[in-house]
């Protein structure tokens, strides 16, 4: 009888523990679920959810630990205030300790919290590093479970993305070789996150990019340019761009991995972000040397970039426009390749129709690089009716300072080589004095040697406009006007002067009719 009572008492006591455990499970699962909806966040924050979740991270029931970590991750992911609350409540050391002790499910949840905190700012990412997270995250890259590797790689990338100093911490923790191994794993999601993390490390400096390259990374990335998964191609092209941008040597390492012509095919990809990232990679390679630009052109890059700019819209046009500009800048041969690929028209269209001034400015700069080499290059730009649009951007009151400067420089460099006088004359009337000076300089050089041009200049009203300008001109402008006037008989010049009608009337006043 006594024994039966003891069993009943034990059962009764244990029931309380079971009720408590079920309550903890119910609570933590409900909080994790509620944290997925933004409208619940403030209510839970005011109710002190952080303080309630913290002890549950050390619960003796694994599922409660995991749900608590998941809830914290979702809260921290929502805003930097909540991420700071995670740091302020000293939750990070518990997570870091558990990362090396617990099962794979908990490791994923803990890595998610670290990622959610680190993503918001360099300061919060530094707090994650200071908690010793990297020492626990990096070994997770060697876990058997690919989803644990993925969670760790994601957190590491979010730490590295903010500053070069944080990325250096990641490198010093030995993450890079393990991320390169992750790229070689069969799981596509893991490949994506690893490539993204390497990109976030490489972007900061040549030294960090070199650290990414040293384990032979590029050789594993390059074949993935042709992978069927669009999100993976995005990350691969981005990573190769971040490596290439820093120096000639790094760009050559990328090129030597035989990414051409395969990366050009990505400019036609169904996914527009793949296209943009591929164009960005090409731009970062093209900008370094004439030899690298020539390699791109020889692979069919000029036509591919022109097609890309034609089909892209908005900010997606920008890397293509700049790549064309870098290629054109190096030599007249490369600029001619752009012209023969019909590259002027889509860049001109961007100059005219894109609403963003920074895209217009890049277009103006690129057109200047195409047209500045020889009279043939400038004629191609002039015949495409580019000059008046550059002038319009330069004088428009709402244009940004950068757009005005780039339009002016482009106009100046094209006009300096332009012998296509029919394109120059329409600019004279609206151009500011500084541009009029460049235009008249070309007329002063060309008209003495071209009878047809002299005749056309008169017939199209140029000489008359010149006499009007001479009334207010000074300095070099007056000098060029005199040089042009000297190309014509004095009576023609006088005929088109503003005072000619008054001169005739004065003669009328002095004239005595012959009366018989």
Cβ within 8 Å of residue 253, ≥6 positions away: 213, 218, 243
CA pseudo-torsion sign 228, 234, 240, 241 = positive
On the 0-12 / 13-18 / 19+ scale of CB atoms within 10 A, 305 is buried
Q: What's the pLDDT score for residue 425?
A: 81
- Provide the sign of the torsion angle of the four alpha carbons 81, 84, 88, 93, taken in this order: positive
478, 470 Cβ separation under 8 angstroms:
yes
23-42 residue pLDDT tens: 888 888 888 898 888 888 88
| Rounded CA separation 380/422 (Å) | 13
Q: What DSSP string describes 65-106?
A: HHHHHHHHHHHHHH-HHHHHHHHHTT-HHHHHHHHHHS-HHH
What is the residue-averaged pLDDT of the chain?
Answer: 90
Burial of 490 per CB tally in 10 Å (0-12, 13-18, 19+) = exposed
Tokens standing for residue 242: 């971040």
CB 402: neighbour CB atoms within 10 A? 15
pLDDT, position 90: 86
Whose tokens are 């300096």? That residue is 416
The domains found in the chain, sorted by start residue, are 289-418 (1.25.10.10), 437-503 (no CATH)
H/E segment holding residue 488:
none
Residue 491 scores a pLDDT above 90: no
Query: How many angstroms separate the first and last alpha carbons of the chain?
Result: 163
Q: How far, CA to CA in Å, does 452 sit from each of 99, 110, 385, 418, 457?
A: 84, 81, 21, 17, 9
* Cβ-based neighbours of 93, under 8 Å, separated by 6 or more: 131, 132
Give the residue with greater pLDDT, 371 vs 499: 371
Q: Rounded to a whole number, what is the largest CA-CA distance in the chain?
A: 163
CA dist 187 → 152, 192, 235 (Å): 15, 9, 15
Q: Dihedral, CA atoms, 193, 195, 196, 200, nearest 10 degrees?
A: 140
Q: Which pLDDT value is given to residue 173?
A: 96
The CA distance from 459 to 300, in Å, is 45
Q: The pTM is what?
A: 0.87
Give 462-487 pLDDT, tens digit per residue. 888 888 877 666 677 888 888 888 98
pLDDT at 10: 66
Burial classification of residue 513, based on how many CB atoms lie within 10 Å of its CB (0-12 exposed, 13-18 middle, 19 or more buried):
exposed
**Rounded-to-integer distance, Cα 53 and Cα 76, Å:** 12
Q: Does residue 250 register a pLDDT over 90?
A: yes
Looking at the predicted structure, is the pLDDT value of residue 508 above 70?
no
User: Cis omega (within 30 of 0) on the bond before 261?
Assistant: yes
The span from the CA of 248 to the CA of 206, in Å, is 10
- Predicted confidence band at 18 (pLDDT cuts at 50, 70, 90)? confident
Residue 304 has pLDDT above 60, yes or no: yes
- Give yes or no for residue 9 having a pLDDT over 60: no
Does residue 413 surpass a pLDDT of 60? yes
d(CA 363, CA 357): 10
Mean pLDDT computed over 260-277: 96
Confidence of residue 333 (pLDDT cuts 50, 70, 90): very high
Q: Residue 482 to residues 103, 378, 412, 492: CA-CA distances in angstroms? A: 89, 26, 22, 14
| 243-to-22, 90, 220 alpha-carbon distances in Å | 52, 37, 14
- pLDDT score, position 291: 97
Sorted by sequence, the CB contacts under 8 Å of residue 346 that are 6+ apart come out as 306, 309, 310
Could you give the percent of the chain with pLDDT greater than 90? Answer: 58
Q: What is the pLDDT, as a whole number, of residue 452?
A: 86
Which segments of 429-472 does DSSP mark as H helices, in order? 433-446, 451-459, 462-470
Contact criterion met (CB below 8 Å) for 85 and 92: no
d(CA 274, CA 229): 10
Mind listing the pLDDT tens digit for each residue in 186-227?
A: 999 999 999 999 999 999 999 999 999 999 999 999 999 999
pLDDT value, residue 513? 72
> Given phi > 0 = left and psi -120 to 50 = alpha, else beta, which region is 30?
alpha
d(CA 286, CA 292): 6
98 closest CA partner among 82, 84, 112, 85: 112
Lowest mean pLDDT among 7-21, 233-247, 324-338: 7-21
Query: Model confidence over 113-159: pLDDT tens digits?
Result: 999 999 999 999 999 999 999 999 999 999 999 999 999 999 999 99
Specify whether the CB–CB gap between 282 and 301 falls below 8 A: yes
* 287 vs 86, higher pLDDT: 287
Q: How confident is the model at residue 393 (pLDDT cuts 50, 70, 90)?
A: very high
Count H helices, E strands: the chain?
Answer: 35, 0
Locate 465 and state its tokens.
Answer: 């406009």
Tokens 């996150």: give the residue: 193
């Amino acid at each position: 009888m006594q024994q039966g009572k003891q069993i009943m008492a034990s059962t009764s006591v244990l029931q309380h523990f079971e009720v408590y455990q079920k309550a903890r499970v119910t609570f933590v699962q409900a909080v994790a679920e509620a944290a997925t909806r933004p409208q619940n966040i403030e209510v839970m924050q005011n109710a002190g959810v952080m303080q309630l979740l913290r002890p549950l991270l050390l619960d003796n029931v694994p599922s409660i630990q995991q749900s608590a970590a998941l809830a914290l991750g979702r809260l921290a992911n929502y805003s930097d205030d909540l991420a700071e609350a995670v740091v302020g409540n000293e939750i990070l050391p518990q997570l870091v300790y558990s990362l090396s002790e617990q099962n794979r499910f908990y490791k994923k949840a803990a890595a998610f919290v670290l990622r959610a905190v680190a993503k918001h700012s360099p300061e919060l990412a530094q707090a994650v590093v200071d908690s010793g997270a990297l020492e626990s995250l990096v070994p997770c890259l060697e876990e058997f479970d690919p989803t644990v590797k993925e969670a760790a790689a994601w957190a590491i990338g979010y730490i590295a993305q903010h500053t070069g100093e944080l990325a250096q911490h990641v490198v010093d923790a030995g993450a890079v070789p393990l991320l390169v191994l992750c790229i070689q794993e069969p799981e596509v999601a893991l490949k994506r996150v690893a490539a993204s993390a390497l990109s976030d490390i490489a972007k900061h400096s040549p030294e960090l990019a070199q650290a990414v390259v040293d384990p032979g990374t590029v050789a594993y990335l390059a074949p993935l340019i042709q992978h069927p998964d669009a999100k993976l191609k995005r990350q691969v092209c981005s990573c190769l761009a971040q490596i290439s941008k820093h120096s000639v040597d790094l760009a050559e390492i990328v090129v030597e991995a035989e990414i051409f012509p395969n990366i050009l095919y990505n400019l036609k990809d169904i996914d527009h972000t793949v296209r943009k990232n591929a164009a960005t990679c090409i731009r970062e390679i093209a900008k370094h040397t004439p030899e690298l630009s020539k390699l791109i052109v020889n692979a069919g890059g000029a036509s591919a970039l022109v097609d890309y700019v034609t089909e892209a819209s908005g900010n997606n046009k920008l890397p293509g426009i700049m790549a064309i500009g870098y290629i054109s800048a190096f030599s007249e041969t490369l600029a001619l390749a752009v012209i023969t690929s019909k590259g002027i028209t889509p860049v001109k269209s961007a100059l005219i129709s894109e609403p963003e001034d920074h895209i217009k400015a890049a277009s103006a700069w690129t057109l200047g690089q195409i047209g500045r080499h020889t009279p043939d290059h400038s004629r191609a730009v002039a015949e495409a009716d580019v000059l008046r649009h550059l002038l319009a951007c330069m004088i428009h009151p709402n244009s940004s300072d950068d757009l005005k400067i780039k339009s002016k420089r482009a106009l100046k460099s094209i006009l300096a080589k332009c012998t296509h006088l029919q394109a120059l004359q329409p600019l004279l009337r609206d151009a500011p004095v500084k541009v009029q000076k460049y235009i008249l300089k070309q007329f002063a050089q060309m008209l003495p040697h071209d009878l047809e041009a002299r005749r056309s200049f008169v017939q199209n009203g140029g000489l008359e406009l010149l006499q009007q300008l001479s009334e207010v001109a000074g300095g070099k402008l007056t000098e060029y006007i005199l040089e042009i006037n000297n190309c014509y008989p004095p009576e023609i010049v006088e005929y088109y002067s503003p005072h000619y009608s008054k001169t005739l009337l004065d003669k009328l006043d002095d004239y005595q009719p012959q009366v018989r």
